[in-house]
Structure 1
Amino acid sequence: MRVFVAGGSGVLGRRLVPQLVANGHEVTATTTTEAKLGLLAQLGADGVMMDGLDATSVGEAVAASRPDVIVHQMTAISMTHAGKPDIKHPDRWFAQTNRLRAEGTDHLLAAAETTGVPHVVAQGYASWNGTPHGGWVKTEEDPLNLMEGTASHAGLAVLQRVEDKVLAIGGAVLRYGAFYGPGAIDDQVTLLRKRQYPLVGRGSGYSSWVHLDDAASATVLAVEQKVTGVFNVVDDDPAPASEWLPYLAECAGAKPPRRVPVWLARLLAGDQAVLMMTAGRGFSNSKAKRELGWQLSYPSWRQGFRAELG
């Protein structure tokens, strides 16, 4: 197939493009940085410059590539685009990413309609943001936590909007867990080594993780099988922060993280950090494994963190 990967030079795109190429697909991958065109060529893609926030730029890029499927992976989370991570103010930190997930999605869907692209696969999120009621592990049938009334709401609401729009045209949304792998958690490792990434309260909140290569392989399956609907693309091991954070520190060669009380964490790091570490809900990957036939190279972050950092 001809596959158009919007955001192909990002951390996931750089793992996804080679897998698509290896499976015989003709890949067009976009970037906003001319310097990355060479990288995309090395990965086997036809690299093109595209501004995801410009409808004309998106429309021209999609029309020129005549794809059978569009894969939406556009974000601006890296420090190059978003600056230093600011978990206390995710509305500011993710401002550009939120626009790419709102306006950028609209532009891609409009281009798909105009060009007659029959299938769209978009990026969603499923790490700690399951509804904070009931069990600790959620399925695709459970609602997401949109954190109304907090600085996180804008970004989480945009993700819900992406799901609604893509599902309305018969596309697929892959709710990826927290990424780790080459280039994905460098900032977190740096904070751990400086002992600036503490556990909050008891650290009882759950999160789900996924290695970039496993996220990419699930995406390839979604593309090739032309699936529709929502899929949680996470590993087999949702776990509380009290387990994964000290283990990540150990793998990174850092001292154990400090503990801070909830009131202090809320003051210093904001609502999202507190919820993630104290009341977060992880996710089940049963549907993705069952319906996509997905097999993970790293079934648990316990293996993956050690492989990446050990």
Structure 2
Amino acid sequence: MRIFLAGATGVIGVRLVPLLVEVGHEVAGMTRSQAKADQVREAGAVPVVCDVYDLDALTTAVVSFGPDVVLHQLTDLPDDPAELAAGAAANSRIRTEGTRNLIAAATAAEAGKFLAQSIAWEQPPERSAAVTEHESAVLDFGGVVLKYGQFYGPGTYYENTLPDHPRVQVDDAAAQTLKYLDAPSGVVVIADPTE
């Protein structure tokens, strides 16, 4: 399959690119940072430097690659978890406007599948509307919503501790994602079993 991965240099994207390439998929890895293009290339994907909010450039990039699948793994989260509340609006924008733009680009490219990252835990009311809008847009397209538990492991907010359930080890989350590339439209939860 040809897979356009938006968010190729994020915490799960960096794990997904080599996994997808290893099993034979042709991958375009999108990042908004020119400095990270080499990282995408070294992982075996075609680097695409693009801002999800530039709809024309995004559409051109996705159409040019001609994907079978668009895989939305974009977030806009701070490196410091103490800044999560302050950065909430930016992440909500990715979920709303960013998702709309990726769906528009996938539609223009006639991509047959669309999968998007979401969360498996409850958000405060002021942020839950963006999650609901995001998931509804994906399902309206006929896509798959991947509701991940809180990531833990290297490169996450929980490198040395376990977050509350629902949670999932980040490498396991990436590996499990591959199982859903051919899934029918719907919502799947990717999380560790509760004890």
Output the TM-score relative to the length of structure 2.
Answer: 0.92
Alignment: residue pair count:
194
Q: State the one-letter code of the partner of 1:78.
A: P
Q: Deviations over 1:194-216 (max 9, x none)?
A: xxxxxxxxxxx952111111111
* Residue aligning to 1:182: 154
1:27 aligns with 2:23: no
Long gaps (5+) in structure 1: 130-145, 193-204, 239-310
Q: Which amino acid aligns with 2:186?
A: G
Shift of 1:109: 0.7
Matches within 5 A, 1:190-201: none
Structure 1 CA distance for aligned equivalents of residues 55 and 36 of structure 2: 22
Name the residue aligned to 2:43.
43
**Maintained 8 Å contact 1:176/1:232:** yes
1:284-299 to structure 2, matched below 5 A, reads none
Contact 2:78 2:87 in 1 (8 A): no
In structure 1, the residue matched to 2:189 is 232
1:242-301 Cα distance to aligned partner (Å, 9 max, x none): xxxxxxxxxxxxxxxxxxxxxxxxxxxxxxxxxxxxxxxxxxxxxxxxxxxxxxxxxxxx
Runs of 4+, deviation exceeding 3 Å: none
Counterparts of 2:128 and 2:172, CA distance in 1 = 23
In the TM superposition, residue 4 of structure 1 has moved relative to its aligned partner by 0.4
Deviation digits for residues 185-240 of structure 1, max 9, x if unmatched? 26x75xx8xxxxxxxxxxxx9521111111112211111x24320011001126xx
Is the CA contact (8 Å cut-off) linking 2:144 and 2:187 kept in structure 1? yes
- The answer to whether structure 1 residue 107 and structure 2 residue 101 are counterparts is yes
Identity of aligned residues (%): 37
State the Cα distance separating 1:57 from its structure 2 match.
2.0
Three-state SS of the structure 2 residue aligned to 1:15 is helix
Q: How does 1:87-98 map to 2 (within 5 A)?
A: 87=84, 90=85, 92-98=86-92
Q: Which amino acid aligns with 2:193?
A: D
Match of 2:82 among 80, 85, 92: 85
Residue in 1 that maps onto 2:129: 157
User: How far apart, in 2, do the equivalents of 1:57 and 1:101 lie?
Assistant: 19
Distance 1:164 1:218 in 2: 22
**1:168 has 2:140 as partner:** yes
Q: Secondary structure at the match of 1:103?
A: helix
Answer yes or no: is the 8 Å Cα contact 1:76–1:97 preserved in 2. yes
- Equivalent position SS for 1:182: coil
Q: Judge conservation of contact 1:85–1:93 (CA < 8 Å) in 2.
A: no
Unaligned runs of 5+ in 2: none
- Higher relative strand content: 2
Alpha-carbon distance in 2 for matches of 1:104, 1:86: 21
- Normalising by the residue count of structure 1, what TM-score does the alignment of the two structures yield? 0.59
Superposed CA offset, 1:127-148 (max 9, x none): 3x2xxxxxxxxxxxxxxxx533
Bigger Rg, which one: 1
Is 1:212 paired with 2:170?
yes
Query: In 2, are the aligned partners of 1:69 and 1:120 still within 8 Å (CA)?
Result: yes
